[in-house]
């Protein structure tokens, strides 16, 4: 299944008990949902150390637990026996519970906050307002933080940015608030795309960012190969699958920055882009995750 978003459904309104599967290790909840591809999962969220997945109690079984263990083993083959706890919990207002856990976050000059939590801003601070909805991406995960940190170095003013798998559009919003002339967010999930448009209006950047509900193939011809910077904060398999399309979207000199990659997954990502004629010029690492920047070899900035 092609996945361009890191989508987390937190809207669970049925009056029912739930099974809370707590994975006691830091993983990206969006990638877990994508890998499990289980329509029975009704929600997921990440706290500081763990990931929680939720099923209706009457749909939980040992087969689903085995699937979770299988996906975890594939995602982190270097970690043996990842602890998992399973417990039954009563129904509650999940949106409210998750919202209570979302606090304002500073990443360099960027302040990401929910609308109900005002923050005093310094003269150089840039505010992004995001309320938890069905489009994942609030800046709290290491993969997103690294991209936001990198944007503060990469945006010099006037750039056109292409954000593939835009989710909440947090990267596109940050880019234009940092000085990019415009951005295009591509999001294959229609619900997430609609949430992203609401965030654009909330942050008063809807006149500078276009959200394309679809894939790179749905980009209008006039918007193809115009980006100065291509962003893809996805997951390993999706990046591998979309690498050719990402490169095709970039003209000579365009920078491509990818994230959502575990440390041990770096070599195959480098090999994939190298096979497409790009070189990795820089990388950063945080909490076991890696972000990587690629250039076409013709660029004097690229290094093998």
Q: Which CATH superfamily is domain 141-295 in?
A: Vaccinia Virus protein VP39 (3.40.50.150)
pLDDT, position 171: 96
pLDDT at position 141 is 77
- For residue 92, pLDDT over 70 is answered with no
Contact 262, 218 (CB under 8 A): no
Query: b vs e for 190-221, b when ≥16 Cβ sit within 10 Å of the residue's Cβ?
Result: ebbbebbbebbeebebbebbbbbbebbeebee
pLDDT higher at 284 or 189: 284
Give pTM, 2 decimals: 0.74
Which of 16-30, 120-134, 162-176 shows the highest mean pLDDT?
A: 162-176
Tokens of 49: 């150390």
Domains of the chain, residue spans: 18-90, 141-295
By CB neighbour count within 10 A (0-12 exposed, 13-18 middle, 19+ buried), where does 118 fall?
Answer: exposed
Please identify, in words, the CATH class of the domain defined by 18-90.
alpha beta
Q: Inform me whether the pLDDT recorded for 2 exceeds 60.
A: no
Per residue in 273-303, pLDDT (tens digit) is 999 999 999 999 988 889 999 997 654 444 4
| Neighbouring C-beta atoms of residue 142, cutoff 10 Å | 18
Task: Name residue, tokens 């877990």.
Answer: 32
User: Distance between CA 154 and CA 142 in Å, rounded?
Assistant: 18
């Amino acid at each position: 299944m092609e996945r361009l978003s890191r989508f987390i459904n937190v809207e669970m309104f049925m009056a029912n008990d739930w099974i809370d599967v707590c994975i006691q290790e830091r993983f990206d909840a969006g990638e877990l949902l994508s890998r499990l591809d289980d329509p029975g999962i009704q929600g997921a969220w990440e706290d500081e150390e763990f990931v929680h997945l939720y099923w209706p109690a009457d749909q939980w079984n040992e087969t689903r637990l085995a699937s979770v263990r299988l996906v975890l083993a594939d995602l982190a083959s270097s970690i043996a026996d990842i602890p998992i706890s399973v417990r039954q919990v009563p129904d509650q207002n999940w949106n409210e519970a998750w919202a209570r856990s979302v606090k304002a976050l500073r990443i360099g000059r960027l302040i990401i906050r929910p609308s109900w939590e005002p923050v005093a801003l310094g003269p150089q601070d840039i505010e992004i307002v995001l309320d938890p909805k069905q489009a994942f991406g609030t800046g709290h995960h290491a993969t997103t933080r690294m991209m936001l940190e990198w944007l503060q170095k990469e945006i010099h003013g006037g750039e056109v940015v292409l954000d593939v798998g835009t989710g909440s559009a947090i990267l596109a919003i940050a880019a234009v608030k940092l000085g990019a002339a415009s951005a295009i967010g591509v999001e294959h999930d229609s619900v997430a795309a609609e949430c992203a448009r609401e965030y654009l209006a909330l942050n008063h950047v809807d006149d500078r960012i276009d959200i394309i509900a679809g894939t790179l193939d749905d980009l209008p011809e006039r918007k193809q190969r115009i980006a100065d910077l291509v962003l893809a904060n996805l997951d390993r398999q999706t990046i591998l699958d979309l690498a050719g399309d990402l490169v095709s979207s970039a003209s000579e000199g365009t920078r491509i920055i990818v994230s959502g990659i575990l440390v041990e997954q770096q070599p195959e990502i480098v090999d994939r882009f190298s096979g497409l004629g790009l070189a990795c010029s820089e990388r950063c690492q945080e909490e076991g995750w890696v972000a990587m920047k690629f250039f076409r070899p013709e660029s004097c900035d690229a290094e093998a």
